[in-house]
Amino acid sequence: MSKSEQERSVSIELPDGSQLDFDGPVTVEDVAYEIGPGLGEDCRAGRVDGDLVPPEYEITEDARLEIVTPGSDDYIHLIRHSAAHVFAQALQRVYPEAELAIGPWTDDGFYYDISGVDIDEDDFPDIKAEMESIIDADYDIERVLRDREEAAEIYADNEYKQDILETEAAGEDPISFYVQDNWQDLCKGPHVQSTGQIGAIELLQIASAHWRGEEDNEMLTRVYGTAFESESDLEEFLEQRRKAEERDHRKIGQELNLFSIDGTTGPGLPLYHPNGKTVLNELSDYVANLNRDADYREVETPHVFRTELWKKSGHYENYRDDMFLLDVNDEEYGLKPMNCPGHATIFDQQQWSYRDLPVRYFEDGKVYRKEQRGELSGLSRTWAFTIDDGHLFVRPDQIEDEVEAIMDIILDILGTFNLDYNVQFATRPEKSVGSDEIWERAENQLEAVLEDADVDYDVEPGDGAFYGPKIDFAFEDALGRSWDGPTVQLDFNMPERFDLSYVGEDNEEHRPVMIHRALYGSYERFFMVLMEHYNGKFPPWLAPEQVRILPISDDQIPYAKQIQNRYLGDYRVEIEDRSWTVKRKIREAHEDRVPYMLILGSNEEEDGTISVRDRKEQEVKDVDPEAFAEHLDTEVDQRRTDVTFVQTYGN
């Protein structure tokens, strides 16, 4: 370390906003002891500017720091990272020929990529038993620094670890290893102090993954597992996982004939069947009406543009590796990864006065991103997806009112679907564009809107986009995973790149601020969340089939058609005319999650009534069909989330 580095002061910002100053570089552990000896003793790791690092990590520049202790939310990541090492050690005890690639923690556990051994889930009991013996032995987990030459010698026969030494660890000397018993792994950490601090483990499944996620690289075996502080926490997780498997949107999508992803058409390219497209159309109509009511004007942009547009917007530089590029007549084109450059181009086609602003555009725009195949999963992550995009061009003094209006729409939508969500307010990152004054004003305006909306939110310092701060909403799926949903983002960058302007009251040109917003996020991911949230039992207004009429015999089919045409002509109604018993017809309708079944026999036909059964297996007889139709009108018009006719009419 140079003298200038030693003399450079370092300022540490703590979670409560207080600040500690040091004369030079300082470790995470040193900062913890400076705060208090008890915290120093409990320090297991630190989160430095968002990155999780070991206690020995040296902070050389001003930074934000959160100390991680056994009581911290981040402590579970240390347990799972250490569990990944325990798995790798146990694997090599059982299968000495196994070659290790990489094994990080994940949001719900860990995985380790391996090669050189052919295993399947039948081998899990032996590996798990060895893992438990390592945990019971309570080996110390120690960080050891080895020089680069020694590290290269250790992994002379492991091409994956060599790759890590040449990439992630490039330029580092010495190299960080973690050692437990007589086993070691190349790793930056952090970890718990000993294997015995891992309370409970489970191996979950096996998958395949290309090394580095690159399709041209070797295919590896990926073993997923999880770990918790206690057996009770593990059991709770496994029970949730079992329930979630019943709600997996891929399973529901197949059962209800909603969508498919056929490998012959290409990975990550969903095919929507009539039932699925019906739901998507309802979602689109709902949000389109909200947009029009809020004075948005609908636009449409092509699926492909010359890459000059993406270079102008900055996406080519940042998204090129994830874009689908093609050559046409010696010119390079790209399928659009985002809709915003097209909307900025539309705005730029005419002159605007300050009186014209805000200008609001919306589009259900299909976009394309070349995700790695190993990351594709049903509708949660695809190559082709549709964003319910909106872009506003506003004066700086209009930001707060416009964001408040967007928030109102988003909160109305979340209430309509009765969805659980959390909100993050992301502030200015280190690399950003725009003046300090603009950023400060924008952040204050966004935070004021959140406060006025009385929304609970977490502040994510430095997690904003380089072009502006943002408010993000995230949904939880049936596995407890968090998925991006609605968002509101301020953008000072694209108006600059596209030289957008309006004429102000002073007759001078001014730069507008661009607001990006999505009310669902993407239709694909929102559809996935809804499938799992409702377990396929869509609200009547969304259901692909809203009513199924069940004639007891063929004699009642004409009466069934009469009921359909006279009372239910505006709804999605099917008549079950197969020669089945009524019991089987009811069972099939329940399995298809149809909201309402109308059972028609000779008595109903004679009396001009219907028997109504809902998917909750509640039934009421002698119903006036007009009363049912009026109730269904109310449920659909009000977008109620549940079936209520039987309960209401029965009372």
Known binding-site residue numbers: 340, 391, 516
427 phi/psi in degrees, rounded to 5:
-105, -175
What is the DSSP code (8-state) at residue 81? H
Cβ contact 5:56 at 8 Å:
no
Per the CB < 8 A criterion, the answer to whether 188 and 54 are in contact is yes
CA–CA dist 362, 340 (Å, integer): 10
Residue 28: CA atoms inside 13 Å, Cβ hemisphere, count?
22
Six-digit token string for 534: 């409702």
Neighbours of 605 (CB within 10 A): 19
Residue (of 334, 331, 344, 341) closest to 368 by Cα position: 334
**CB 377, CB 205: distance < 8 Å:** no
Query: CA-CA distance, 640 to 631, in Å (whole number)?
Result: 11
Q: What separation in angstroms does the CA of 329 have from each of 326, 404, 450?
A: 10, 47, 50
DSSP symbols for 130-179: HHHHHHHHT-B-EEEEE-HHHHHHHTTT-HHHHHHHHTTTTT-SSEEEEE
Binding-site annotation: residue ranges for Zn(2+): 340, 391, 516
CB distance 387 to 367 below 8 Å = yes
For residues 104 and 81, the answer to whether their CB atoms sit within 8 Å is: yes
CA 129 to centroid of chain Cα atoms: 34
Nearest to 618 by CA among 637, 645, 592, 587: 645
Residue pair 576/588 in contact by the 8 Å Cβ criterion: yes
Token code pair at residue 4: 């200038």
Neighbours of 360 (CB within 10 A): 20
Cβ neighbours, 10 Å, residue 56: 16
- Within its chain, how far is the Cα of 155 from the centroid? 36
d(C-alpha 601, C-alpha 609), whole Å: 10
